Structure 1
Amino acid sequence: MNKVAIYPGTFDPITYGHIDVIKKSLKLFDKIVVAVSDVSNKNYLFNSNERIDIVNKALFKDLKLNRKKILVVSFSSLTTDLCKKYKSNVILRGLRAVSDFEYEFQLAGMNRKLNNNIETIFLMSDVENQIISSKFVKEIVKLNGDIKKFTTKSTIKSLKEKYE
């Protein structure tokens, strides 16, 4: 039986923190659905098609991860509906610091109330990547800072093109 996990997020842009979670989850599941949120109440730097392209390039071009084990999709539904669509009962969430936990705990509880067959699994990125956030990466690149330690080459290129 294929064990599928859903990893939802904005990925605006994808960082090494996100990538750590994906790599760790590949050891636990047969397939990971990286679900790029397209909820309209957020103020994204990149639209959903751009973010999907950036994630695909980062995972498959830069890092050469296995395309057969990762599917990158856009979604604007409830994550629990996405789980149903991909026959998954697992939602993956990344934790950076204790400050993330309260929000993530509430979100996991709400998802559990929506569908009590769904479990949320929290994974931490490696210590050196726990401080990385998409928000900070965007701020650093906007101010012409070096973000090589935070994300992949193709993502850096996309960010620089956006701010030119």
Structure 2
Amino acid sequence: MRTGYLAGSFDPMTNGHLDVLVQGLNLCDKVVIGVGVSATKKPMFSAEERERLIFASLAEVLPGRVDDVTVETFSELTVTAARKAGASVILRGLRDGTDFDYEMQIAGMNAEMAPDLQTVFLPARASNRHITATLVRQIAGMGGDVSPFVPKPVDAAIRAGRE
């Protein structure tokens, strides 16, 4: 059984994150989502809320694979968390050339630290290439409509937080 590890903040889960997760499930039997937590950052959603939104979002597009996903929080190196999760593959999404250059550096460092883990790059669909969680947080924070950029459960949670 091949287990993939998909790390990120998922704050909030975007359509781009969901796209990469679905692609990862096409390659792996199981995907562990590592929700990065930092004591110094103020998140939009708690780790527990992010987990709930990840599952709700996946259930809308791929309900038959929800049981093949687990979510855990981590604050250590991704390679350490991936090993603890039993992963053999680290899944990384790419939006553009800038992402590629940055991710290649990370993949190289990870390969030195953990040669047993293979990094797999998954290209974002054209409709998702411009989406970042940072921009979604900024738009939402200013009262803008983020519905084109996030799954429906995430949009509903953001809207509920404004009320």
Structure whose residues are more often helix by fraction: 2
1:97 Cα offset (Å): 1.2
Q: Structure 2 regions of 5+ residues with no counterpart?
A: none
- Partner deviation per Cα, 1:74-119 (whole Å, 9 max, x = no partner): 1122211222222222100111111112221221122112111111
Amino acid at match of 1:114: M
Aligned-pair identity (%): 33
**Counterpart position of 2:115:** 116
Runs of 4+ in 1 over 4 A off after TM superposition: none
Among 53, 60, 63, the alignment partner of 2:61 is 63
Q: Structure 1 residues 76 and 109 mapped into 2: Cα distance closer, same or farther (>3 Å)? A: same
Q: Distance in 1 between matches of 2:90 and 2:62?
A: 24
1:33 Cα offset (Å): 0.8
Kindly tell me the number of residue pairs found equivalent between the two proteins: 162
Q: Distance in 1 between matches of 2:154 and 2:8?
A: 16
Which SS does the other structure have where 1:68 is aligned?
helix
**Counterpart position of 1:96:** 95
Higher mean Cα deviation, 147-156 or 40-49? 40-49
TM-score by length of 2: 0.90
1:40 Cα offset (Å): 2.5
Q: CA contact under 8 A between 2:5 and 2:82: conserved in structure 1?
A: yes
Amino acid at match of 1:131: H
Higher mean Cα deviation, 140-149 or 127-136? 140-149
Q: Distance in 2 between matches of 1:88 and 1:81?
A: 10
